[in-house]
Amino acid sequence: MTSSEIFLQLLRSDAPLLSLAPMQDVTTLQFMRVIARYGGPDIYWTEYFRVHGDSRPEKWILDSITKNPTGRPVIAQLIGNDIPALVRNAKELQKYPVAAIDLNLGCPAPIVYKKCAGGGLLREPDKIDAILGALRDAVTVPFTVKTRIGFESPQEFDALLEVFSKHAIDLLTVHARTVKQMYRPGVRYDLIAQAARELKCPVFANGNVHSASQAQALVAETGVRGLMIGRGAIRNPWLFDQIRAQFRGEEIKLPTGHDVLNYIHELWDNEITPGVKESAQVMRMKKFMNFIGEGVTEKFLFEIRRVLTTADLWRVCETYLNHDEPMTLEPILIPEAALELPATF
C-alpha cells in the first residue's frame, strides 16, 4: 500500500487517530526518529515547505519524507499565498511518498502572517477559496488543511467553515485559538465540535492536549476523528501511548525522573551536530527544554532557561530528574513573571 492509501485507511478506522503537530525547526527527521521510539503518533506532519515564486521543496524537510524512520504516514505541509507556486510545489511533492498535501492556515508567527501566509490568510477568505480550489485540482493524493479559528476573533470561524465546506478536502485540523491569541489560554473546543458537526470531512482537534484523560474527554466532547498534539508531545513523548491505553481502559504508565533524563539524553544525541559551537548546541536544546520544563517544576524551568553551557544544562537536569519517582509531565501553572525569558534564550 502507498502512504496515501494507508492514511485513507486510517481515516476509515474506528480508533481515534493521533498525529504529531508540525512545529517549525522542531518536527525534523531527527525528532521524528526520537518520538517514534516512545510509541509515536499514527500520522506525522512535516515542517512547512516555504512556497514563493521560485521556491523548491527544502531538502532537509524532504528528508523527513524520503528517510522516514517511523513506518507511519507523513503529510507534507505547504505555506504561502502564491497560487501558481503552491500548485507547482504540490505537484513536485507528490513525486515523493507523501500521505497527503496539507495547506497551513494557522501559523501565528508575525514574520509569517504579515506576509499574508499561514494564519495571515484567514483575513482573506476569498483568497483561501481560490487557493483551495487550485490545490484540490492539482492534488491527486489526499488534500488536508490546518487552520486556526480566525485571525482576530472566533466570530470569523463561521465564514471560514463555509469556505472549507465548498471544497472536497479530506481532513481539516482545527487549532482552536485565533492567530492573535498565539498560544495563550482560552481554547475554543466548542468551535472544533461545530466543525466536526457541520463538515463532511473528518476533523482533528489541536490545541493544549496535555493528558490521556483530557484527550479522551476532548474526543467525546467534540466528536472529532482524531487529535493533533504538539508541545504536549515534546514535553511528554509517552503521551501517545498513554492516550491509547486510556481509550483501551488500561493502566496509564508514567515515566520516572530517570526516564525523562534518558529522553533528554536521546534528544541531545539526535539533535546536536558535532563541531557546532557549544552556545549553539545549548540554544538548540533549549527549544525542547522550554517545553519539557513545564512538566517538571517552576524552579527547574527557571534554571534550565538560563543555562549557558553544556555542563550547566546537565547539572540542572541531574539535580531535578535523577530519581525514580513517577511523573505525570502535565503542564504546571506558572506565574506570568516566571515565564519571561532572559535575553540569551
The pairing of beta strand 143-148 with beta strand 100-105: parallel
> 183 with 272, same domain?
no
Residue after which a domain boundary falls, among 197, 224, 248: 248
> 304 with 230, same domain?
no
Catalytic residue among 107, 116, 201, 317: 107
Taking residues 175-200, report their average pLDDT: 94
Residue after which a domain boundary falls, among 198, 228, 248: 248
* 28 located within any domain: yes
pLDDT at position 274: 85
In whole angstroms, give the CA distance from residue 121 to residue 113: 7
Number of structural domains the chain divides into: 2
> 173 with 320, same domain?
no
CA distances from 310 to 31, 283, 306, 307, 324 (A): 20, 10, 12, 8, 24
Q: Tell me which of 211 and 338 has the higher pLDDT.
A: 211
Query: Residue 112: which of 84, 79, 86, 90 has the closest Cα?
Result: 79
> 241 with 293, same domain?
no
pLDDT at position 328: 97
> 131 with 11, same domain?
yes
> 244 with 277, same domain?
no
Taking residues 83-110, report their average pLDDT: 96
* 280 located within any domain: yes
Question: Does the pLDDT value for residue 82 go beyond 70?
Answer: yes
* 344 located within any domain: no
pLDDT band for position 185 (cuts 50, 70, 90): confident
pLDDT at position 165: 97
In whole angstroms, give the CA distance from residue 119 to residue 106: 4
* 7 located within any domain: yes
> 100 with 188, same domain?
yes
pLDDT at position 344: 31
> 116 with 43, same domain?
yes
Q: What is the pLDDT of residues 246-263, one digit of tens each?
A: 999 999 999 999 999 999
**Confidence (pTM):** 0.93
> 322 with 190, same domain?
no
Query: Residue 269: which of 314, 238, 299, 230 has the closest Cα?
Result: 314
pLDDT at position 32: 97
* 345 located within any domain: no
Residues 6+ apart with CB under 8 A from 310: 278, 281, 282
pLDDT at position 335: 54
> 29 with 166, same domain?
yes
Q: Tell me which of 116 and 138 has the higher pLDDT.
A: 138
* 21 located within any domain: yes
Taking residues 170-177, report their average pLDDT: 97
CATH number of the domain enclosing 167: 3.20.20.70
> 264 with 127, same domain?
no
Q: Biggest alpha carbon distance in the chain?
A: 56
> 87 with 184, same domain?
yes
Question: Does the pLDDT value for residue 160 go beyond 70?
Answer: yes
Residue after which a domain boundary falls, among 248, 282, 298: 248
Q: Domain range spanning residue 325?
A: 257-339
Average pLDDT for the chain: 94
Q: Are 70 and 40 in contact (CB under 8 A)?
A: yes
pLDDT at position 337: 44
pLDDT at position 199: 97
* 39 located within any domain: yes
pLDDT band for position 334 (cuts 50, 70, 90): low
In whole angstroms, give the CA distance from residue 128 to residue 119: 11
Question: Does the pLDDT value for residue 8 go beyond 50?
Answer: yes
Q: Are 121 and 157 in contact (CB under 8 A)?
A: no
Percent of the chain's residues with pLDDT above 90: 89
Q: Are 171 and 126 in contact (CB under 8 A)?
A: no
For this structure, is 201 an active site residue?
A: no
Question: Does the pLDDT value for residue 326 go beyond 70?
Answer: yes
Residue 145: its H or E element: strand 143-148
Taking residues 168-191, report their average pLDDT: 94
